[in-house]
Chains A and B, each alone.
Chain A
C-alpha cells in the first residue's frame, strides 16, 4: 500500500455488486427457461403430438421464443453480469450511475417478459432472432442506450488509464449491437402489434443476415471473449499468454466479422458479388477467432493438473475448445460446396448449439461458479456436484452434436441424390422419417444438458443460502486518472489507443462500419437493378392476410421459400428462385431450415382441398408427417378490419397498390374468399365457411410461384 501520493488525493469508493447479483440471478432463471423450451420443441420434432393442439405451444411460435430466450435472456443477462462486475474492477471505479444500472436491469427483464408473452401469441416480425414487434424493439433500443451511456460514463471516470482487452471487447459489443439492432428494426407500424419492415426481398434478407450473423458475433462472441479475458486469468491465476495476440485478434475479428453475413445466403437470390464477400470473409475469420482460442488455451498451459481437479477450470477449458470447434466449423460451412449440402439441414442447428451450449453456456456457468461464492463471500457448496454437472452437460452436447451432424448430412445427401434423370427420394417424407430417431437422440442430449443445468442451480442456491448475513462491500482507494501522457518513444501506438478510450471507440465504429456500408448500401437501391416484370402482381388483400398468418404461425421455422440453383433442387421443386420473386415481400420469408419442403413453387402443386385437409391435420394426406396441425385456422375469422391499413402501409413502402385497391380491400378479399370456398366445395370439402383464416392462408399458399423469366 505504499503509494507515493499523499492520501488526500486518493479517492475512496465501493463497487456496485448488487447489480451484478441481480443479473446473475436473472441469468440462472432465464437459462432454465431457455433450456426447458429447447427440450420441449426438440421433443415436438420427435413427436408432433407434444404441442397438445394448442396454438401458442406449436413449434413455429415457440422456436423463436427459445432462440430469443437463449440469446437475449440467458446469454444477455450473463454478459451484463460479467460486464458490470469486471468493468468496475478493471476501471477502478463504481458504475457511473446506480439508477441507470437498475433501469437497465429492470428494462431488460421487461423486454424478456414481453417477448415471453408476445411470441407465443404469434406477435412477430417474422425475422429470425429479430422477431420482437416494434414497441418492444423501441424498448430494447432505450434500454441499450441507457446501458451504453452508463458504460461510457463509467469509462470516462475510470481511475485506470489504459483499458484492458476485456474492455475493448465490451466496447465493440455495445456500439455494434446498437448499430445492428437499429438498422434491422426499421419498420412501419400497422397496429400496436404488427409492422412491416421497410426492406423487402433480397434487401431484407441481406440486412437481416447481416444482423443475424453479427448477433452471433457481437452478442454471443465478443462479450464472451471479454469475459474470458477477465475471468480466466482470475480463476487460474496466470498471466494472459500474449498481449500482442490480443491486439491482432481483436481488431481483425471486429473488422472481418461484420462482412460474413451473406454466408447465410449462399446459392440464394442474393447478388453473386455479395455471396463471394460472404465466403471470403468467413474463411478469413478462422485465424482471428482462433487467436482468441489460442490466447485462452495457452494461458491455461502449465496448469493442467489444476484443470483436472477444478471444475471451474474444466468448464473454461471445454468452453474455449468448443469455441475453437465452432469457429472452425463456421468457415468450413461457408465453403460453397459444403454449404450446398449442409444449408437448410440440421447440421446448421448442430453448429449453432456447439456454440451456444458449448462455448456460451459453459463460459457462463464457469463465470457463475467463480463469481457467486466471491460475491456472496462464501464457499461453493459442492465441487463434486459441479463435476457431475460438467460431465452430464458434456455428454449432452456430444449427443446433441452427433445426432444433428448425422441428421444434417443424411438429409442433405438424400435430398440431393439423383439417379439418371430422377430423384432417388422424390418423396420428402422419406427423408423426414429417417431423421425422426435422431430427433429423439437430440431431445435426450438436450435433456442431459438441462439435467446438468439443474444440478448447477441447486449448487448455486445452496451456495447463496450459505452466505453470511449482512455482507459488507469492500472499500477501495485509488488515485484519479490524471491527465493523459503518452511516451511515443517507448510505448507502442496501441498503448496510446488504450489510454484514450474515445479514440478507441471511434476506431471500433469505423472498423464495423466499413464492411456494413460496403455490403448493405449497394443493395439499398436494389429496386433499380431488379426489373420487375409486369406479370409480377402484388399480393391481393386476401393473400396478404394469408401471408400474415403464415408469418404469425412461424411457418418459416420449418419451411424455406428459396429454391437454390442446384440440380437436385430444381428437379425437386422447379425453377430456382430469383430476386424478382420476393420484391414485394416485407418481410422476406426465405427461411433457413427445411424440416418441411421448400414452398417457393407450391402454387398449383396441390388443389385447394389438399391444403384444406393438410393444414387441418397433415396426417390426413401425408401419413407420418411431423408438421403440426392448425385447427384454429378453421375457427378464427380472417381479420378484415386492418386490411385497408395494411395495404396503405404497403403502398407507402412502394408496393404498387392503387388507391382503389386500398379502399376496396375488404370487398376484394371477400370476393376472393367466396371463390375459394366454392372451389373447395366442388372438390368435395363439406361445409366451408369463407370467413375463416384457412381460406386466406390457402389463397397465399397458392400464390407461391417463381416468375417465369424469358
Chain B
C-alpha cells in the first residue's frame, strides 16, 4: 500500500467555517450575565431575602392563623361515634398503621391488647385513647401519631379503637396495665 502523505491536509481533513455568532445566542449570553451581576447585589443588599428570613416570616403568619382554628376534639369524637363511615375509615387506618403492633383485630402483638378491660394509659374512654394515640409513648415503642395523622384520621382511628372494646380477638395478648372498674 502506498504511503499517504498528510502534508496538505490539516485537522485530519476537517474544515472549519467562521460563521458569525448567532445574534440570539449572543443576547442570551448577555442576558444571563446581566442577571448574574444583578442577582448577587439584589440578594445581599436589596430586597432579596435569604431562605431563613422567608421562613421566619411564614412561620409568624401561620402561628396567628393556627390560633384561630382550635378544634374541639371532644365534640368531634362524640359525633364520630355515631358515624358509620368514620368507623370504616378508622378500620382502614388501623389495618395500615396499627395492626403491625396491635394485631389485625386489636388483640395485641408488640403493643398491648386493645380489646380487653386492661389499660396502661387512662381508662379506655375515647378521650383517653385519643390522648395516648396522639402523644404516644415513645419510650415504649408507641409513636406520637398526632404528628403523622391528620386530625380527621386521628378521630377516625380512635373511634375505631374505642369500638373494639369487649370484642374477642383470635389471639388475645395477656392483659397489661390496670383493670377498669
Contact = CB atoms under 8 A, between A and B. Distances in A.
Contacts of A621: 100-101
A571 to B, nearest CB: 9
A426 B150 contact: yes
A565 interface: yes
Interface of A: 1-3, 5, 10, 12, 86, 89-90, 92, 159-160, 162, 164-165, 229-230, 233-234, 239-246, 248, 252, 267, 272-273, 276, 279-281, 283-284, 286-288, 290-291, 294, 298, 331, 336, 420-422, 424, 426-427, 472, 474-479, 564-567, 570, 576, 604-607, 609-610, 613, 620-621, 623, 683-684
B140 A290 contact: no
A242 B17 contact: yes
Contacts of B16: 165, 239-240, 242-243, 246
- Which of B7, B40, B101, B140 is packed against the most chain A CB atoms within 10 Å? B7
A203 B120 CA distance: 49
Contacts of B35: 280, 283-284
Given A294-B25, A607-B141, A421 B66 contact: yes
B5 A160 contact: no
B19 interface: yes
19 contacts: A1-B5, A1-B8, A3-B5, A12-B3, A164-B11, A230-B14, A240-B14, A243-B18, A246-B16, A272-B50, A276-B40, A284-B33, A336-B51, A421-B62, A424-B150, A472-B1, A476-B5, A621-B100, A684-B110
B6 interface: yes
Given A230-B14, A426-B147, A477 B4 contact: yes
- B-side interface mostly: helix
B12 A476 contact: no
Contacts of A89: 12
Given A286-B32, A604-B138, A478 B17 contact: no
A286 B27 CA distance: 12
Given A242-B21, A298-B19, 8 more contacts: A165-B16, A234-B14, A280-B36, A284-B33, A287-B32, A336-B51, A477-B3, A570-B59
Contacts of A244: 18-21
Contacts of A90: 11-12
B180 to A, nearest CB: 22
Closest 6 CB pairs of A and B: A287-B29, A280-B36, A421-B66, A239-B15, A242-B19, A243-B16
A291 B55 contact: no
Interface in B138-176: 138-143, 147-151
A676 to B, nearest CB: 13
A442 B20 CA distance: 42
Contacts of A1: 4-5, 8
Contact of B39 (A230, A234, A279, A576): A279
Contact of B6 (A92, A165, A294): A92
Contact of B69 (A420, A476, A684): A420
B20 A475 contact: no
A280 B39 CA distance: 7
B43 A276 contact: yes
Contacts of B14: 164, 229-230, 233-234, 239-240
Contacts of B11: 90, 160, 164
Nearest to A239: B15
Contacts of B36: 280-281, 283-284
B148 A427 contact: yes
B10 interface: yes
B89 to A, nearest CB: 14
Given A240-B16, A604-B138, A10 B5 contact: yes
Contacts of B150: 422, 424, 426
Interface in B47-66: 50-52, 54-55, 58-59, 62, 65-66
B55 to A, nearest CB: 5
